Chain A
Amino acid sequence: MTQDSSRLRLGVLGMVVLSLFCALLARLWYLQVLAAPTFKVEAQHNSVAVVYTEAPRGRILDRNGKVLADNRVVLALVAHRDEVAKKPEVLDRLSGLLGVPVDEINRRIADERYTLFKPVPVAVDVPKDTLIYVREHQVDFPGIEGLQLTERVYPNGTLAAQVLGTVGEINDDELAPRKAQGYKAGDTIGKSGIELTYESELRGQPEIAKLEVDSVGRVQRSLGLQPAVQGNDIRLSIDIDIQRVAEESLEQGLTLARKSTDFLTGKVFTAPGGTVVVTDPRDGSVLAMASNPTFDPNEFTNGISVKRFAQLNDPAGHYPLNNRAIQGLYAPGSTFKLATSVAALKAGMIAPRDTYNDLGSYTVTGDERSSTFTNARGARNGLVNVTKALTVSSDVFFYWLGERFWDGRAKYGTAAIQDVARSLGMGDYTDIDLPFESNGRVADPAGREKLHKDYPEAFPYPEWYTGDNLNIAVGQGDTAITPLQLANSYATFINGGTVYAPRVASAVLNHQGQEIRKIDPKVVRRTDLPAGVRDPILAGFRGVVSDPLGTGFNAFAGFPLGAFPVAGKTGTAEVAGKQDTSLFTAYAPADAPRYVVTAVLEESGLGASAAAPVVRRVLEAIAVKEGIATAPPGAVVRVDGHD
C-alpha cells in the first residue's frame, strides 16, 4: 500500500514536472518561431548605429573658372565623449591649452547635434602648434583627437555676396521636408542665393558609416562605409572682373551722391543703396549683379551670432542682405518710355515721324478740373517725334500718348501700355535662378481697383483717371519693378522680342572640372516686335548717349563711342517722401548688343547724374576687356543733366 501510494505520488510529481517543461517549450515556440520576425528587427535597431558625415560642398566658380565659393580645411580638436567621460581631468588640461573655460568645453561636448558615436568638435580652427602639442602629448589627452574639417569660405569676401548667398545650419522648417533626402539636424544647408538654389547639386552625398554598437553605445566595429561624394561645382555666368567693377562703380556713385546737393530739397542725397546688373541680351545670362550695401557671407559659415544677424537686418543699415537687383522695387521713371513707345508704334497710334510740340507742359482737361503736367525742370523741347522724345526725354510727348491711349481705350484697351510693358518682362517674376525674387507690378485700372479693395487706406481711389494714364506713360505712379525686370525688358526689346528667364548659373561640373550638364537659357515667351516699331526707338536710345541733347550725353563724354557704341535710357523716378531714384539702362555695342547694363541708385537724383556715370564706368571696363579701349576706367564722376 505504502509502495503504491509512494508510486502514485511520484507519478503526480512527474506530471507536474512534465507540464512545467511543456510550458517552457510552448513559450519558446511562441518567441522563436511565431514572434521572431518582429523581435529580429528590434534586435537590429538595438545594435546598429548609422553615422553621417557631410561631404564637402561643391564650389561656385565664375564664368572663367575663378573660385567664388570654396571649402577651407580647418584644424579642429574633437573629443570622444565616452573616453573623456572616464577621464574628466583631460578637460582641465584642454581648458589650459585652449584658454577656454572648462564649462564652455563641457557645453560644446554636450552639443546634441552630434550623435553619441561621432566625436564632438571642442575647438575649431585651432593653430597647428596646438594640434601638434596634443598629438605629441597624446597620453595626457586620451579621447582628444586632431582632425581636419572643411568649411565654406568665400575667398573674395563681400564680392557678389547676395548672388552667392550663405550657408548655415539647417533649421526645423527646412529639415522637415528634406528628411527623405537624408538631411539630418546639424547639417549645413544653403540659406540664400546660389547656395540655396543649387543646394541639391552643391551638397553632395554624406559619408554613411554603419557601426555596431553595444548596449552603452561603445563602437564595436564598422559594418560598412559608404564614402562621401563631394558636391558638384556650379559655374556661373558671372564674370568676376565685371562684377568687381560693377560693385566698385556702384559704391563710388553712391558715395558721390551723398556728397551732392539735391536741388529740389537743398539737402545732400541720402543714397542708401543701389544695384547694377549686367546681362547678355542674347540669352539672358547674368554677367554681374551688384547690390549695395553688402555683407560678407563668411560671417555666416560657422553660425552667425544673433546680435550680428540683428545688425544686418536693422533698417538703419538699409538691409545689406537683400539683393536689390531682384528684390528691390522701384518706379521705373522714364526708362518705362520704352513700353509706351512700343505700345504707341505697335498700335499704329503714331507713326515714327509724327511730332508733338513740347512746350514744357501738358494740360489735361478733366470733367471737373484741369491738371497740368510738366517736363522735369520745365524743359521745352519743341517739335519732337518718338525718337527725339526718347533722346531728350520729353515727358510732354509721352503725356500726349498717355492721354490718347486713355481716350481711345475703346480701341486700344484700358491697359495697352501696361500690356506691352508686361510682354517685355516688367511687373512679374523673371524666373531667375535666385531665390526670394519680387514680382512687382505695373499699375493699371484693374489693379488699382483691386488695390483699393485690399488696402483702402493706402489706395483711397478705386478709379483710374486720365492723369493716371499720363503718369504710367512716363513710368510714374504705382508702378514698381525690379532692376532685373528693367534690364530684362530692355534685353527683350534689343534681341527682337525673346523674353529669357535670366540665369546666373551656366553649368554643373563634377569636382574634376568636367561639365555634367549645361544650364541652358530658358525662353519664357516671344513677343512680336517688327522693325518698324524697333528702329525709331533704337535710334532714340542711341541719341540719348550720342546726341548732344541726349540725356546721357554728358555722362558719356570722352567714351570711345565710335569703337564701342552705347545706347540707353535715363530715368528719374519720383518717390513720395523720398528723393528721386536715379536709373539708367544701357546696351552695347549698340548695333549688335552683347551687354545690357542697368543701374538703379536710390535717392540719388537724376538718372543722368548718378546712374549713367556708374553704367559708363562699367562699360569702360567691359570695353577694356573686349580689347576696344586701353585706358582703365577712371573714377565715377557725377554729371549735371536733365531728365
Chain B
Amino acid sequence: MQAARNPAAPLRHLDLTLVLSTVGIAAIGVLMVYSSTRQKQGTAGLDPAFYLKRQALYVVLGVLAMTVVAVVDYRHIRDFVPILYTGAALTLLLVISPIGTSSRGTQAWFQIGSFQFQPSEVSKVALVLALAAVCAGARGSLDTPGLLVALGVAFVPMALILVQPDLGTSMVFAAVVIAVLLVAGARPRHIAVLSLLGVTAIVLVVQLGMLKDFQRDRLTAFLDPQSDTQRSSYNLRQSQIAIAAGGVAGRGLFQGTQTNLSFVPEQHTDFIFTAVGEELGFVGGVSLLGFFGLMVWRIWRAAVLARDQFGRLVCVGVLAMLVFQIFENVGMTMGITPITGIPLPFMSYGGSAMITSFMGMGLVLNVHMRRFS
C-alpha cells in the first residue's frame, strides 16, 4: 500500500522485462535439460524426468534467492561485503582441503547428501560485490594504488580457484575484474596491460602443466577439431554436428538424434546449447540469444541508470560475469572458443550455478529498482 503512494518505492521500479526474460530463459533451460536426458535415463531404466525435476527445483530456489537478494537494499548488502568476501575465500580454501570432493581431476565440490555445492560459483557474486565496493571509492578515476587494491581483492579467490584447478571460472573472474576496472575508471593503459597479463597468465597455466591433460586437450581441441575424434575434439565435433543438424527450423523438440542418443557428452550441463541448436534450429538459437541479449541489455541499462557508483559497478560485474559465460559457453559448442567447464547461465543443469546467476540478477534488480530511493 505504501508502494502505491510513494513514487520512489522500489517495487514500482522493478524491471519486469529483466525478470521475465531471465525466468523465460530458465524455463527453456529446464525443457532442454529434460530433452537431453530423458531418453538416456529411460534406456538405463531410470526416471526420465529426474533431471527435469531437479532443474525445476534449482530454478525455484534460484528465483527465491533472487527475491531475497533483491529485497535487501544493496547499500545494506555493501556493509556486509567484507564478511561475504572473507566467507567466500574461506569456503574456497575448505573445498581444496580433504573436505571437498573432486571429479575428473578438479576438486571443486562439497557433497551434501545427493546434492553437490560448488563454492566457486557463489564466490563469483562475492567477488563482484567486493570489487564494486573497493572500486566505488575511487569516484570514477582509479589510480594505481586503488587498482592494486582491487587486483589484490580479486587475486585471492582467483588463486584458490586456479588451485582446484578450474581455469574456466578463473577466466570468468578475470573478465569481471577487467570490466569492473574499466567502468570504475582505470586508465586505458592499465586495462591494456591487465588484458595482456591475463592472456599471458592463461597461456602460462596451459603451458606449465598446471592443468590436467584432459583439460588442456579440451582447451586446445577447438584449434584443430579434426585432429582426434576419439578424445577431446570428439566433444567438439559431435557438438557442432548436433547444432548444424538442426538447420533453420530444427528437428523439433525431443526429435534430435544427436540429443536423444547421447552423442554429445555433458549435453545437459556444459553443452546444453547443442540441444537447443539441434531441436529448435537456427530460429530457436537466435531466439534464445535474443532473450539473452534482451537480458544483457536490461542489465547494461540498469548500470547506466544506477544511482551510485557501487550499484553501477555491481551491475557491470554481473553483466561481465553473465556475458563472458554466455559467449564462452555458446562459443565453445560452436567451435569458436576453447572448451572449458563453464555453464551456460540459467540453462545448464546444476544448482550452484543456477542460484549464483539468479543471485547476480537479484543484485541488478536491487540496484535498478532503488535508483530513485
Contacts and interface: CB of A to CB of B under 8 A. Distances in A.
Interface of A: 1-3, 5-7, 9-10, 12-14, 17, 20-21, 23-25, 27-29, 31-33, 35-36, 38-40, 42-44, 46-47, 212-216, 218, 220
A28 B286 contact: yes
Contacts of A213: 261
A43 B262 contact: no
A33 B285 CA distance: 12
Contacts of A32: 243-244, 246-248, 277, 281-282, 285
A214 B262 CA distance: 6
A45 to B, nearest CB: 10
A7 to B, nearest CB: 7
Interface in B252-295: 257-258, 260-263, 277-278, 281-282, 285-286, 289, 292-293
Contact of B245 (A9, A39, A216): A39
Interface in B322-357: 323, 326-327, 330-331, 334-336
B202 to A, nearest CB: 18
B242 interface: yes
Interface of chain B, main secondary structure:
helix
A214 B244 contact: no
B36 interface: no
B371 interface: no
Question: 6 closest A-B pairs (Cβ-Cβ)?
Answer: A39-B244, A2-B140, A214-B261, A43-B245, A32-B282, A47-B257
Contact of B179 (A13, A24, A28, A36): A13
B314 interface: no
Given A9-B185, A13-B320, A36-B246, 14 more contacts: A2-B140, A6-B312, A10-B183, A10-B304, A12-B182, A13-B183, A21-B296, A23-B331, A28-B243, A28-B334, A33-B247, A43-B242, A46-B263, A216-B262
B286 A17 contact: no
Contact of A33 (B261, B282, B289): B282
A504 to B, nearest CB: 51
A46 B278 CA distance: 14
Contacts of B140: 1-3, 5-6
Contacts of A216: 262
B18 to A, nearest CB: 15
Given A2-B139, A6-B183, A33-B247, A24 B327 contact: yes
Which of A10, A23, A31, A39 has the most B CB atoms < 10 Å from its CB?
A31
B319 interface: yes
Nearest to B292: A21
B40 interface: yes
Contacts of B326: 20, 24
A2 B331 contact: no
Contact of B316 (A7, A10, A220): A10
Contacts of B289: 21, 24-25, 28
Contacts of B257: 43-44, 46-47, 212
B101 interface: no
Interface in B105-157: 139-141
B66 interface: no
Given A43-B257, A218-B43, A25 B286 contact: yes
Contacts, number: 142
11 contacts: A10-B316, A12-B182, A21-B289, A21-B296, A24-B330, A32-B244, A36-B245, A43-B242, A46-B241, A214-B39, A216-B262
B240 interface: yes
B303 interface: yes
Contacts of B281: 32
B89 to A, nearest CB: 27
Interface of chain A, main secondary structure:
helix
Contacts of A38: 244
Which of B244, B320, B330, B336 has the most A CB atoms < 10 Å from its CB?
B244
Contacts of B319: 13, 17
B185 A6 contact: yes
Given A6-B140, A9-B182, A47 B263 contact: yes
Contacts of B331: 23-24, 27
A2 B261 contact: no
A196 B260 CA distance: 45
Contact of B244 (A10, A31, A47, A218): A31
Contacts of B300: 10, 13-14, 17
B330 to A, nearest CB: 5
Contacts of B316: 10, 13
A333 B331 CA distance: 89
Contacts of B244: 31-32, 35-36, 38-40, 43
A220 to B, nearest CB: 6
Contact of B248 (A6, A33, A35): A33
B280 to A, nearest CB: 10
Contacts of B241: 39, 42-43, 46
Which of A10, A21, A32, A214 has the most B CB atoms < 10 Å from its CB?
A32
A47 to B, nearest CB: 4
B248 A27 contact: no
A17 B262 CA distance: 32
A214 B40 contact: yes
Given A33-B248, A40-B245, A28 B296 contact: no
A327 to B, nearest CB: 52
Contacts of B182: 9, 12-13
A214 B263 contact: yes
B245 A21 contact: no
Nearest to A14: B300
Contacts of B323: 17, 20
B327 A27 contact: no
Interface string B222-244: 00000000000000001011111
Contacts of A46: 238, 241, 257-258, 261, 263
Nearest to A48: B257
A2 B289 CA distance: 33
Contacts of B246: 32, 36
A81 B140 CA distance: 68
A47 B258 contact: yes
